[in-house]
Chains A and B, each alone.
Chain A
């Protein structure tokens, strides 16, 4: 069996995570009686654990590949166990664990790595099979687990470890205020919808009895009784379910900005009051059924909109994920692991390579390079040595360092960015909405007409005045009008989502269509966001492949972004790592490959032992990053590394320009690469080397001058500016915090969806206008008829439904997304 798979290697994907299997890989696991090939020991360990637990069905049920458990290499390390043990301490647990009776404890966890419903199944079955676990339920939507266990039989760290063993990561979940509010909002909306649904059905049943009674004869005392029963059932719907509409209408009146909520409230409220009047006086018509059904349908629309809005905020407490939960503190030369929350100013903390720096501080010992990409967008790590300041949340790349803590908690830079974000939210300009404006005019017109009609009838025939005024309000009941905008928006939002653009705020489609400027971040947005090997120039008598092999062997075990550019080659060629590796921080690497000593890194470092000393000036050109590979005697090759622009970036820029938008690039990066990328993409306005604060100022300046700005970005450093722009779009690879603060998320990362979305948004606006015109024309015809008392209730109902259908049908035209205009740029 092994032999079969071995011969087919190379084009095989890992059975567990679906990544390509490197040719030299020798990892297997028996799943369902067959030997399956794995890409790495991590996947192998995870798959074996799953199979041994009798949970192989996971592989049958799943609809998406598992996340590659790169971290599973560490799953067995002492270090990780130590870190998980922290969660057993009472001082740590008090933040997220509640003790219930009889030694049972409860906690909420955030689980990383969930890709489909089968993951939920696997987690629940695996954890439930552990001795001492009472209950676990995993939520697929927000990736949270509710866990209760018996602390005397099993400890929390053991449970967390076994979650690691099947390839997931569990963290304690501390809900922040905003998330608690979101949860409350969801539950409240669900309850409102449920009340409206259940009581609407009841009222409808009674209404049928009343309608049938009119033709077949119903005794008067029974009719009165049924009306009273309908009144009892409709009341909770009006006062509980429809409450948001009334509240919004009240707010509209206070702010003198009329929205659809006002006519909705007037229709619901007046029909309800009129029905009560009819019930009490046993005269006229009752409209309880219309009241409840109208509320129910509107609530369904609002509920779906809210769900879409919450979808992006699912990843849990984003800031918590950025800062590590634990830190190694040095007291009198002894290492001790403590929770990061317990750090104090002036503590000395040891940060190992690959670990996140737990708080702001200065380096007191050691030198290393620090990856600050999350904060600044700069993808190359910066060399830092004793005395330099480091920022909490950034990653130590090369060597262990000792950091003296200078800021903790709310005073750290990360918190400062979050504060900037809050401010940006407050200052965000309100987008004037066409639909609302039109609705405003319409509402005013309806109110004035109804009042005039009522007054006229009061003069002519007072006994008819009330009912005719009401029928005017019912006929003009803003059904078609209130459907005009939402149906168009829903259809367009749906088709954009299929195309990979998730819209999370209601105003996006409208503000997209009216945008004048589009501002891009560079790293990770216009570019791929990581270095890759672009050129190889050989200097000696070796082929390009031979040079690459040597370089890859030297860089194999380094996690530096430069080294990662060589890893793909190392995997493909099955390179063995170099021996006697020596890391010169900020300079380069040296090591033995096939018995010969090589140097790779900055030119004046690598070439210092060779015959000819080279510097950056000797590099083939001055774009991007150049590395020199040398032996002890000669210089062997130049490697050109770059963060390449995304494939679709150039044609996206062209299409956007054709659509009449001004394009700008706004980046924290200040290197020569900025000009190069901008020139290759055809972007003329470039602002480089700016801080998050300056970015925000720039956008606000533009908006003050009347520009309507779309901001596209991805990093932590982009969050304030995303929040401050009228319309913001985050890339799918962006940090969770950026995604939750953007108005839309480009999930597929395909930039060409932007011009497409812009087209669709413009089309949506024209369809909304068509729908509005139709609704208004219908009303102009129906209104005089109703005002003169010539419309019977059933005629009004038919007319209203017909006009609604026309509106919905027209909106559905938006659900077809046009083809992407893929003109590949040269």
Chain B
């Protein structure tokens, strides 16, 4: 069980790293908007990435210009 003497300090260091990352993300404004990212994941703006023969149903929309 002596391995705990190594593992627990490592766990503490990792937790410290997590805190550092968390502070960085808060300070760079990533937590300012907690609403829109939840929605934006659901917007399928990837239609131009789907090969034509794999599309379900026919849609005559959208050649996204990006």
Contacts and interface: CB of A to CB of B under 8 A. Distances in A.
Nearest to B1: A222
A233 B15 contact: yes
A226 B32 contact: no
Interface stretch (A136-144, A372-380, A463-471, A598-606): A136-144
Interface in A139-158: 139-142, 146
A170 B1 CA distance: 63
A118 B61 CA distance: 18
Interface string A26-40: 000000110000000
B55 to A, nearest CB: 15
A129 B45 contact: no
The interface centre, meaning the residue of A54, A118, A222 with most chain B CB atoms within 10 A of its CB, is A54
Given A129-B66, A202-B11, A233-B12, A141 B35 contact: yes
Interface string A194-228: 11001100100110000000000001001001100
Given A56-B62, A222-B1, A187 B31 contact: yes
A5 interface: no
Chain B, interface size category, equals: 35 or more
Interface residues on A, range: 35 or more
Contacts of B44: 57
Contacts of B8: 206, 225-226, 229
Given A191-B23, A198-B22, A54 B4 contact: no
Contacts of A140: 33, 35-36, 39
Nearest to B2: A222
Interface string B9-34: 10110010011001100110101111
Contacts of B19: 194-195, 198-199, 236
Contact of B5 (A56, A141, A225): A225
A726 to B, nearest CB: 32
B13 to A, nearest CB: 11
Tell me which of B23, B33, B44, B59 has the highest count of chain A C-beta atoms within 10 A of its own C-beta: B33
Contacts of A117: 35-36, 38-40, 43
Given A191-B22, A195-B19, A202-B11, A139 B64 contact: no
A196 to B, nearest CB: 11
A95 interface: no
A629 interface: no
B15 A33 contact: no
Interface of B: 1, 4-5, 8-9, 11-12, 15, 18-19, 22-23, 26-27, 29, 31-36, 38-40, 42-45, 47, 59-66
17 contacts: A32-B61, A54-B62, A61-B43, A116-B39, A138-B36, A139-B36, A140-B39, A141-B33, A190-B31, A191-B22, A195-B19, A195-B22, A198-B18, A222-B1, A222-B4, A229-B12, A233-B12
Interface of A: 32-33, 53-54, 56-57, 61, 116-118, 120-121, 125, 129, 138-142, 146, 183, 186-187, 190-191, 194-195, 198-199, 202, 205-206, 219, 222, 225-226, 229, 232-233, 236
Given A139-B36, A141-B36, A229-B8, 20 more contacts: A33-B61, A54-B63, A57-B43, A61-B39, A61-B43, A117-B38, A117-B39, A117-B40, A120-B40, A121-B39, A125-B45, A141-B32, A141-B35, A183-B32, A190-B26, A194-B19, A205-B11, A232-B12, A233-B12, A236-B19
